Structure 1
Amino acid sequence: MGHREDLLAAARRCLEKRGYARTTARDLVADSGTNLASIGYHFGSKEALLNAALGESFQEWAERVRSLALAVEPTADTKTLLAASWDAMITSFAEYRGLAVAFTEALAQAERQPELRAQLAAIYEQSRASVAAMITEIIGVPAGPARALATFQIVVCDGLLVQWLLDPDATPSGSDLADAFMLALGAD
């Protein structure tokens, strides 16, 4: 691996251990075995390096949720599929806790970092497209409605993440959420 890859790997580890706000350039250099000049040369700034690592990590996290959700029998009813997708999200939170914390820290930083804000917005757009494609693949919903459903799923995911980070034991299960969703729709 070269310095660029070493820095990205170190940034990932630092995000998991120290979070977005508490990772320093010196932490990145110490963890990567590189030097301060390498950060500037390859990324321009510590923030740009952390943002790149966060983007890569978020894509990996999204793929993990996708693989967990796709493990459900495709012939299952809608309620079962919803419950499974929400359980997959909750499972991924435990696997990616350090990154989940770093992501929420980055959201707060995005207000004052236009580059980070644009990157996070792009990540959300990519996630909507990916989740919409998965919805179309699994239950055959056309693109337009699939995008609306994807947006809904992401909203639920963000809310679940915040609740889970604060109190994992009080976070509703996928089945609880599916039951509440069906109740709200007036369906069984």
Structure 2
Amino acid sequence: MGHREDLLEGAKRCLLEKGFVRTTARDIVKESGTNLASIGYHYGSKDKLLAEAYVALVEGLSDDFDPATGVAGDAEPGSLDRFQGVWSNIIGTMRGPGSLWRLSVEIVAMGDQLPAVRDHLALAQREAGRGLVSLFLGMREEDVREEDVDSAGAFYNTLMTGLICQYVFDPTTAPDAEQLTEGLRRVIGASAEAAG
């Protein structure tokens, strides 16, 4: 592994231990066994390195979201069973102590003070929406249409952000996958009733 990869791995460990705001460049250097100059050379700034590390951590979790690994492995793509299965898997990643998702809340709360991190992650958020659409609809990410990213992807991202906030604030009252699915079922039913 070279300095670039060492820095990324060190930054991931620092994020999980200290979060964005409390992690210093010296912490990353100590954790990665590299030097301060390497951060600027490979990433441009500590904040950009931390943003890359956060995206890598989230991408590492994305395999856990796959319905094939959990409750709804055989559920029809686009179905309410698939919706429930994917959310069940995602919520499973939120329940552990020291959850990665606490970092998301820190970004939201400190976004204006971490502009490089916020800007980098804003670009990654759209691709996260593409990934979520592919999970719920059972398709490859490269086959997801742009209009689906901008609509369904934005919808799933909004649900995800709300869930993260609720689980970080009070996991005992945050909704589970069954409650989310029942809520969606009622919204669909009310919409159909209003249209009919």
Q: Taking structure 1 as the reference length, what is the TM-score of the superposition?
A: 0.83
Q: Between the two proteins, what is the percent identity of the paired residues?
A: 31
Q: Structure 1 counterpart of 2:21, which letter?
A: A
What is the CA–CA distance in structure 2 between the aligned matches of 1:59 and 1:76, rounded to whole Å?
Answer: 21
What is the CA–CA distance in structure 1 between the aligned matches of 2:70 and 2:156, rounded to whole Å?
Answer: 12
Q: Summarize the Cα distance change of 1:2–1:136 in structure 2 as closer, same or farther, 3 Å threshold.
A: same
In structure 2, the gaps of 5 or more residues are 191-196
- Please say if residues 84 and 180 of structure 2, whose CA atoms lie closer than 8 Å, have aligned partners that are also in contact: yes
Among 162, 166, 173, which residue is 2:165 paired with?
A: 162
Q: Summarize the Cα distance change of 1:47–1:176 in structure 2 as closer, same or farther, 3 Å threshold.
A: same
1:35-59 deviations in whole A, cap 9, x for unaligned?
A: 2222222222211211121122222
Match of 1:169, SS state, is coil
In structure 1, the gaps of 5 or more residues are none
Q: Summarize the Cα distance change of 1:113–1:174 in structure 2 as closer, same or farther, 3 Å threshold.
A: same
What is the CA–CA distance in structure 1 between the aligned matches of 2:97 and 2:48, rounded to whole Å?
Answer: 21
Whether 2:74 is the aligned partner of 1:80: answer no
Match of 1:186, SS state, is helix
Q: Taking structure 2 as the reference length, what is the TM-score of the superposition?
A: 0.80
Q: How does 1:28-43 map to 2 (within 5 A)?
A: 28-43=28-43
When the two structures are aligned, how many residues end up with a matched partner?
Answer: 185
- Please say if residues 4 and 42 of structure 2, whose CA atoms lie closer than 8 Å, have aligned partners that are also in contact: yes
Which residue of 1 is the match for residue 134 of structure 2?
Answer: 133
**Superposition deviation, residue 160 in structure 1:** 0.9
Q: Summarize the Cα distance change of 1:134–1:117 in structure 2 as closer, same or farther, 3 Å threshold.
A: same
Which residue of 2 is the match for residue 115 of structure 1?
Answer: 116
Q: Summarize the Cα distance change of 1:147–1:137 in structure 2 as closer, same or farther, 3 Å threshold.
A: farther
Q: Summarize the Cα distance change of 1:90–1:97 in structure 2 as closer, same or farther, 3 Å threshold.
A: farther
Which residue of 2 is the match for residue 177 of structure 1?
Answer: 180
What is the CA–CA distance in structure 2 between the aligned matches of 1:34 and 1:124, rounded to whole Å?
Answer: 30
What is the CA–CA distance in structure 1 between the aligned matches of 2:149 and 2:82, rounded to whole Å?
Answer: 14
What is the CA–CA distance in structure 1 between the aligned matches of 2:3 and 2:147, rounded to whole Å?
Answer: 43
**Superposition deviation, residue 146 in structure 1:** 6.9
Q: CA RMSD in A?
A: 2.7
1:111-145 deviations in whole A, cap 9, x for unaligned?
A: 2444323211111110122222334436xx98745
Answer with 6-15 or 34-43: which moved more. 34-43
Whether 2:64 is the aligned partner of 1:64: answer yes
Q: Summarize the Cα distance change of 1:48–1:15 in structure 2 as closer, same or farther, 3 Å threshold.
A: same
**Superposition deviation, residue 20 in structure 1:** 0.8
